[in-house]
Chain A
Amino acid sequence: MSQKQELLKINNLKQYFPIKGGVLGRTVNHVKAVDDISFNIYEGETVSLVGESGCGKSTTGRAILRLDDPTDGTVEFDGQDLLSMSKKEMRDMRKDLQIIFQDPYASLNPRMTVRQTLNEAMEIQKVVPQDERNDKIAELMETVGLQPHQVDRFPHEFSGGQRQRIGIARALSVNPKLIVCDEAVSALDVSIQAQVLNLLKKFQNEMNLTYLFIAHDLGVVRHISDRIIVMYLGKIVEMGDTKSIFENPQHPYTKALLSAIPVPDPEKKTDRIFLQGDVPSPMDPPKGCRFHTRCPFATEKCAEETPELRNEDYMEGGHVAACHYMKDIEAGVHQPTKDTTTVRG
């Protein structure tokens, strides 16, 4: 992995959204949606960002594309810092960075035909001369598995899966290097999900695309990604190769997340870890380890010291996790301090 070219490098990214209050509309607090995260994405790989709702994974994706301007940190793409670019410079960069959205019903302008949508994308980035655009549009339609004659239809005349393909065609139309897939298959039926995922895989091989795949469905993530980043309440808690994360999860949160993957066998008993309580408010995140309020292994140390991402010698492939006790838990030395493992039923 280390021989590969770094495509995206994120350092200390922070995204705080101000909360206005009072008569004068002053900023009274911040929602710390993303709080100091760093990671790299290498060219041609698929990195998945997972975590529950509100953990900041979509915010991270949007910050990379500068759909929201981050509070602090750097986003280096191909060696250039995106956040210090002017709007105009960024506009030119945008053809290399594209996004596919979650909701295929909301991500297409309802008043534009597919042809207009695709044509506009190419027009903005001037990637294809005007007289060749119609051919390119027909080609794109076929690539994503739609009939070229459907090109003059409106979005509402397509099914959800077909619309998602149009969204993919739009992203591909400018020949990007990196595509952020923001829950790109979450809104689709399972059978359609597989089709779209296979399509994305196919394009990755053909066009050497890099994906940042934002998802909450770990089954999907396992199928598609090379590496996984697990986020909790705006921070990265664990990061590593897909194989290593699935087979050897270190952070108690990752373990709980993995235990929640449904197993297609009603007879099989699984040790499902049920976390107690709710995710704390990102306005006022807990001190120390952010997970300590729900972690079965938490001690006083966890409430005071923030654990850093680190590697232990038994963890392979750049696998890192942020837990004070991961080695002790692994060795069975550190036992749960609270009883949270309950099997419902």
Chain B
Amino acid sequence: MSNQQVEAAPTQPKVENPRVKAMKDFYRRLKKNVPALIGFYTILILVIFSFIGPWMLSADPSDTDVINKFAGPSAEHWFGTDHLGRDIFTRIVHGMKLTLGIGFASVFMGAAMGIPIGIIAGYYGGKIDAVIMRLIDILLAFPGILLALAIVSILGGNLINVTIAVAIYAIPGFARIIRGSTLAAKNLEYVDAIKALGAGDGRIIFKHILPNVLSPVIVNATLYIATAILTAAGLSFLGMGAQPPRPEWGAMLNDGRSYMRDAGHIAFFPGMAIVIVVLAFNIFGDGLRDALDPKMKK
């Protein structure tokens, strides 16, 4: 009671911005999940490092040190050198931006296309839904890497086309998740209430359905970044993605493949880099799923 009187005092009570409040709440729940937090900070550090790392290193990723080729890890070359004598650590640092960039860009593009498609299918239903979902089913019928390979071989092998290929493969996942949540959300009473107030479809979709169906998408996006990075690396490994001498991790892995027996570190370090990034995104995504689930609220 006394609390209420304090709040109701003539001076305007301090009002916390609802968004800030929601974010704080979310972070509080995420904090409880230690692995997810480790994943989150790993990603954060990697992203920051991918920007400032190349500035900190004096060497160029394409510089060759012919005398020292196939050198193992040493004080001079932390991760050793490859078959052309290029410093692997420098190359990994430079390649980080490429790898993360492909991951984020392809997921962003996939979401940007998948979300509207899913919402339209779920909200309007009927024939529109049937046609869209059958097309999505067709996309899903292709194995991922095969679809990406086909797209890249049509468009030509470079990093932008790899990103597009991975993005196209991401569309069905986003569309399906969003459609399912939209189907559930559009029958909720608050949607009826806003309809009864005369709101148009645009307002209903953007203000009332989209914000309430976004959490599974965020989780899916985080987990999908890992898949996208793997697929892109796989394409580069197969020679369809980044072209030499770009220090893309998948391509570096391919470079090291021929010398696995004598100089395993050439393949080992890029491989480890991929593992760490993918693992970080996966645990963070899992933690995010728990943190965003309203049933977990305590």
Q: Judge whether B212 and A109 touch: CB under 8 Å.
A: yes
Q: Which of B130, B193, B198, B203 has a CB less than 8 Å from the CB of A167?
A: B193
Q: Judge whether A91 and B196 touch: CB under 8 Å.
A: no
Interface range for A: 20 to 34
In angstroms, Cα B212 to Cα A108, docked, is 12
Q: Judge whether B212 and A110 touch: CB under 8 Å.
A: yes
Q: Judge whether B207 and A107 touch: CB under 8 Å.
A: no
Interface residues of B in 186-205 (CB under 8 A from A): 188-190, 192-200, 203
A91 vs chain B, min Cβ distance (A): 4
Q: Judge whether B190 and A91 touch: CB under 8 Å.
A: no
Interface string of A156-177 (1 = CB under 8 A from B): 0000000000010010001000
Q: Which partner residue on chain B sits nearest A103 by CB separation?
A: B189
Q: Which partner residue on chain A sits nearest B200 by CB separation?
A: A91
Q: Judge whether B197 and A109 touch: CB under 8 Å.
A: no
Do A125 and B198 contact each other (CB < 8 Å), given the known contacts A113-B18, A147-B4, A149-B7? yes
Q: Is A120 located at the chain interface by the 8 A CB criterion?
A: yes
Count B-side interface residues using an 8 Å CB cutoff: 27
Q: Which of B4, B195, B196 has the most chain A CB atoms inside 10 A of its CB? A: B196
Q: Which of A92, A97, A125, A170 has a CB less than 8 Å from the CB of B193?
A: A170
Q: Is B1 located at the chain interface by the 8 A CB criterion?
A: no
Interface string of A102-125 (1 = CB under 8 A from B): 110011111101001000110011
In angstroms, Cα B27 to Cα A26, docked, is 49
Q: Judge whether A152 and B18 touch: CB under 8 Å.
A: yes
Do A154 and B198 contact each other (CB < 8 Å), given the known contacts A101-B193, A109-B212, A111-B211? no
Q: Judge whether A147 and B189 touch: CB under 8 Å.
A: no
A216 vs chain B, min Cβ distance (A): 17
Q: Is B143 located at the chain interface by the 8 A CB criterion?
A: no
Q: Judge whether B193 and A99 touch: CB under 8 Å.
A: yes
Q: Is A251 located at the chain interface by the 8 A CB criterion?
A: no
A-side contacts of B200, CB under 8 Å: 91
Q: Judge whether B197 and A174 touch: CB under 8 Å.
A: yes
Q: Which partner residue on chain B sits nearest A151 by CB separation?
A: B15
Q: Which of B130, B194, B197, B294 has the most chain A CB atoms inside 10 A of its CB? A: B197
B-side contacts of A95, CB under 8 Å: 197-198
Q: Is A272 located at the chain interface by the 8 A CB criterion?
A: no
Q: Judge whether A94 and B196 touch: CB under 8 Å.
A: yes
Q: Is A67 located at the chain interface by the 8 A CB criterion?
A: yes
In angstroms, Cα B190 to Cα A67, docked, is 12
In angstroms, Cα B70 to Cα A257, docked, is 90
Interface residues of A in 227-277 (CB under 8 A from B): none
B121 vs chain A, min Cβ distance (A): 15
Interface string of B194-227 (1 = CB under 8 A from A): 1111111001000110011000000000000000
Q: Judge whether A107 and B189 touch: CB under 8 Å.
A: yes
B-side contacts of A125, CB under 8 Å: 197-198
B-side contacts of A149, CB under 8 Å: 7-8, 13
Do A65 and B18 contact each other (CB < 8 Å), given the known contacts A109-B212, A111-B212? no
Q: Is A98 located at the chain interface by the 8 A CB criterion?
A: yes
A76 vs chain B, min Cβ distance (A): 18
Pick 14 A–B contacts, CB within 8 A, sort by A.
A62-B192, A65-B196, A67-B192, A91-B200, A94-B197, A95-B198, A101-B193, A120-B207, A124-B203, A147-B4, A149-B7, A149-B8, A152-B15, A167-B193
**A90-B198, A99-B192 given. 16 additional CB < 8 A pairs?**
A65-B196, A67-B196, A98-B196, A101-B193, A106-B190, A108-B190, A109-B190, A109-B212, A110-B294, A113-B18, A116-B18, A120-B194, A121-B197, A125-B198, A147-B8, A170-B197
Q: Which 9 A-B pairs have the closest CB atoms?
A: A94-B198, A107-B189, A91-B198, A101-B189, A106-B189, A109-B190, A152-B15, A99-B196, A111-B211
Residues of chain A whose beta carbon lies under 8 Å from any beta carbon of chain B: 25, 62, 65, 67, 90-92, 94-95, 97-99, 101-103, 106-111, 113, 116, 120-121, 124-125, 147, 149, 152, 154, 167, 170, 174
